[in-house]
Structure 1
Amino acid sequence: MTIKITPLKTMLFFSSFTLFSFLTACSSEEDRWTDVKGETVKEIVTNLDAKRIISFRVVNPGESQALYSAVDNVKKTITVYLPSFYEYQYLETAIALPEKTTITPAATELLPVFSKTPVTYTTKAADGTTAVYTVKIVIQQAALTLKELSTETSTFTVQAGASIKVTGENFVPSYEVTKLFIVDKDGNKKLQLKQYNDGVDITSFYVMYSFDAIETGLQTDTDYWLMMESYNITKTMKYPFRITN
């Protein structure tokens, strides 16, 4: 009797060969990989610094509207963001500290906005360690613009005793913090001008001076410039003007 190999047996043989080949390939592939030890990861746990500042607030606007400042306990800085419309010259502060930690100067002392030297606070923890924080006051004030009185080809003139009207944008509407000066070519202040109105018009700024009332020392037919100081910003006109008799 003749025996024939059926297609099923052939398929089984082929399948077995394919599986053997696949396993062999996988084994070869695994041989190409080598385990590499990863970098050591260290977990650092630190305790809170007893001489740190927990919070720093400006309370001039009142407790409900206090301005929270940014305290960086790593760089040891206190950044106060102060809107210009408050017009503060000094700040009242409230400082939160860890228990038994003290600070110098005390929070009850006024903080000057325009200090000529850096203002610092020193904290002292119960264990005697200290830290020094530097205060940075960032005044949020829009750029000041002044409308020129003169042009490149025409010099504005004003008669002694007359008034000058200066207009522009973003003046802080207070004569306490917005002032106008006459300066020379080197920027030296020669005269602070007096306000003409009550300072309630926020779109314009009027000033007036009189040679009859004040000995100014200004000269006729000499180039002078108008310079405005408005709280934190100083702006000088590009083109000069002249005084006539």
Structure 2
Amino acid sequence: MNIKNTKLKTTLFFTCLSLFSLLTACSSEEDRWTDVKEDPVTEIITDLDARRIISFKVTNPGEEQAIYSAVNNIEKTITVYLPSYYQYEYLETAITLPEKTTISPVATELLPVFSKTPVTYTTKAADGTTAVYTVKVVIQQPTITLSELSTATVPFTIQAGGSITVKGENFIPSYEVTKLFVVDAQGNKKLQLQQYNDGLNIASFYAMYSFGLNTGLLLDTDYWIMMESYNLSVTMKLPFRIK
């Protein structure tokens, strides 16, 4: 009888030990997957500047083809990128502002493409504070090239009152934009040539101009042809002469 009791006690001991080990393992497994609460995240919301310009666009080509400009609300600049083929001298604009913010001059006032003084806009918020934006118009135009009229050994000559055909590449086909001048050796403009045939004979690769009868140019004197188009200018390397 004593032997049987010993075996029973031994069995119970190992059974209890197994249960204890199992419970301990479960507890460890549970602790291993316990979620850890993260620190709270604080979101800081700042108010946008009420004096800012939300958008600035050129509407001359039409609303669907409007040209959006680059507005820098930190440096307070408006950069208008204008393709040269539009041939605009003044721009119609549409300006989007925050609610209750005003702008001067108003958006309906024409913006000059070529201005001798900086063009600025002043925005005014509802609280009375203001900001001044400066406008820069960038003409997107390829480099102009001119074919020489003279050769290295024989200068081109023309009579007063005559006409010339200038050839090259990337001309803007408008006499209002593409202008031809006679300049001296120092680059000083001596004469602006006139449009030919009521402005019909001009294209992207050639243009015809005429000299007036009273040019004021000297005979047997070297002069050069210079073309101006928007902000670009190019001068022929070889001179010509009036005869």
- Give the TM-score of the pair, scaled to structure 2: 0.78
* Aligned equivalent of 1:205: 207
Aligned 1:206-225 pairs, distance under 5 A: 206-211=208-213, 215-225=214-224
Amino acid at match of 1:209: F
* Aligned equivalent of 1:64: 64
Amino acid at match of 1:135: V
* Cα deviations by residue, 1:11-66 (Å, 9 ceiling, x for unpaired): xxxxxxxxxxxxxxxxxxxxxxxxxxxxxxx9864211100000001001111111
Amino acid at match of 1:142: P
Larger mean CA deviation between 58-67 and 156-165 belongs to 156-165
- Alignment partner of 1:64: what SS? coil
Amino acid at match of 2:217: L
Q: In the aligned structure 1, how far is the partner of 2:148 from the partner of 2:63?
A: 43
* Aligned equivalent of 1:134: 134
- Alignment partner of 2:64: what SS? helix
Do residues 146 (structure 1) and 109 (structure 2) align? no
* Aligned equivalent of 2:158: 158
Q: In the aligned structure 1, how far is the partner of 2:89 from the partner of 2:161?
A: 33
Aligned 1:1-245 pairs, distance under 5 A: 45-197=45-197, 198-211=200-213, 215-244=214-243
Q: In the aligned structure 1, how far is the partner of 2:233 from the partner of 2:128?
A: 44
Amino acid at match of 2:148: E
- Alignment partner of 1:85: what SS? helix
Asked if 2 retains the 8 angstrom alpha-carbon contact of 1:91 and 1:111, the reply is yes
Asked if 2 retains the 8 angstrom alpha-carbon contact of 1:169 and 1:203, the reply is yes
Structure (1 or 2) with the larger CA radius of gyration: 2
* Aligned equivalent of 1:11: none
Identity of aligned residues (%): 71
Q: CA RMSD in A?
A: 1.7
Amino acid at match of 1:113: V
* Aligned equivalent of 1:18: none
- Alignment partner of 1:126: what SS? coil
Asked if 2 retains the 8 angstrom alpha-carbon contact of 1:183 and 1:227, the reply is yes
Structure 2: gaps spanning 5 or more residues:
1-41
Q: In the aligned structure 2, how far is the partner of 1:142 from the partner of 1:78?
A: 23
- Give the TM-score of the pair, scaled to structure 1: 0.77
Q: In the aligned structure 2, how far is the partner of 1:172 from the partner of 1:81?
A: 17
Asked if 2 retains the 8 angstrom alpha-carbon contact of 1:174 and 1:199, the reply is no
Structure 1 residue 136, shift from structure 2 partner = 1.1
Distance 1:147 1:105, change over 3 A: same
Q: In the aligned structure 2, how far is the partner of 1:241 from the partner of 1:157?
A: 6
Distance 1:200 1:227, change over 3 A: closer
Larger mean CA deviation between 143-152 and 86-95 belongs to 143-152
Distance 1:165 1:126, change over 3 A: same
Q: In the aligned structure 1, how far is the partner of 2:210 from the partner of 2:127?
A: 61
* Aligned equivalent of 1:6: none
Asked if 1 retains the 8 angstrom alpha-carbon contact of 2:158 and 2:241, the reply is yes
* Cα deviations by residue, 1:182-233 (Å, 9 ceiling, x for unpaired): 111222222111223413543211112242xxx2211100111111112331
* Cα deviations by residue, 1:126-163 (Å, 9 ceiling, x for unpaired): 01111111111111101000011123433222233322
